[in-house]
């Protein structure tokens, strides 16, 4: 396997990891919202599930911290890039790049995240 292929495989795993964390945050946020909305619409006391919602909030905070660590790790890879593949440069994928601009064209891209 060429070094460029190794770097590309690692970059794909990096992106997969970043997307997985973002999707997990989406799910956890929706869970928090759903549970709170169900409590309110059913007329239950604000005390109901207080400790459990706090635990969920702490879990979400932990996910955000993990996301930050992964992003820092991603940026830190630049420090060792020359050791792995000195002549390889990756610039992301279509989700990271703006739409190409053509004279007179109007393009709107909506990124689609998949698990």
Backbone φ and ψ for 15, nearest 5 degrees, come out as: -65, -40
Domain ranges of the chain: 3-80
CA distance 71 to 96: 14
Which pLDDT tens digits describe the chain residue by residue (115 residues)? Answer: 787 787 788 888 999 999 999 999 999 999 999 999 999 999 999 999 999 999 999 999 999 999 999 999 988 887 777 776 666 665 665 555 444 444 444 434 444 554 4
């Amino acid at each position: 396997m060429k070094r460029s292929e190794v770097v590309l495989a690692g970059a794909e795993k990096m992106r997969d990891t970043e997307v997985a964390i973002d999707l997990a945050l989406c799910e956890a946020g929706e869970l928090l919202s759903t549970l709170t909305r169900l409590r309110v619409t059913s007329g239950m006391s604000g005390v109901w599930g207080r400790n459990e919602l706090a635990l969920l909030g702490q879990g979400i905070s932990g996910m955000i911290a993990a996301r930050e660590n992964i992003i820092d790790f991603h940026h830190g890879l630049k420090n060792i890039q020359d050791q792995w593949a000195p002549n390889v440069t990756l610039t992301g994928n279509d989700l990271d790049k703006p739409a190409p601009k053509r004279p007179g064209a109007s393009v709107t891209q909506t990124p689609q995240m998949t698990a």
